[in-house]
Amino acid sequence: MRPVLDAWVRMISIARGEDIPVVYTTPVSRADGADVVMLPTDLSAETGVPPLTNAVEGTSDSEFPEEIVPQAQDYVFLKRRPSAFYGTGVAELLHMLRRDIIIIGGGATNRGVETSVREAFNLDIASVVVRECCWGSDAAAHAYSLDKAMKMYARIRHLDQIAAMLRR
């Protein structure tokens, strides 16, 4: 995780230096579990784990690492589903800010990031995925998502490429 966190530190610094809004989404659920997705899936049947597990809202597990904690000028949205857009207000914020491109990363790559990229595409928001800012516990799924699945809906770039694009 350290290389991913270091990449995020750099990406956020670049964005702030270029006056690009920084938007955080944090996957959380209520402590009572009332908003946990319990739809049956093959994976939940195989593992016995709900198809979507989040940190509990208000606990230390739901906090951002100290190195990338949001600042006053940033935007923070609670996310109860895999997409950064579904039920969050992120799309509305981008519209109000007159932004139609997002630079995105996160984890798990094949769940939250890919779902958000697909939804952004459906909302006519262009996505640029930062390879170094993505992670996944399933290495094969992470690689497939970056190298195959998301290429249909986004541009996948290395952090150095994005830094160069933003500084032009």
Tell me the CATH number at 50: 3.40.50.850
Please give the structure tokens belonging to residue 58. Answer: 């208000």
What is the predicted pLDDT for the residue at 54?
84
Q: Which domain holds residue 60?
A: 2-166
What is the predicted pLDDT for the residue at 126?
98
Which DSSP state fits 140?
A: H
| d(C-alpha 119, C-alpha 74), whole Å | 22
Phi and psi torsions of 28, nearest 5°: -135, 155
pTM over 0.85: yes
| d(C-alpha 83, C-alpha 104), whole Å | 12
The series of mean pLDDT values per 10 residues for the chain, 168 residues long, is 95 96 94 84 84 84 93 95 95 97 94 97 98 96 97 98 91
Structural domains counted in the chain: 1
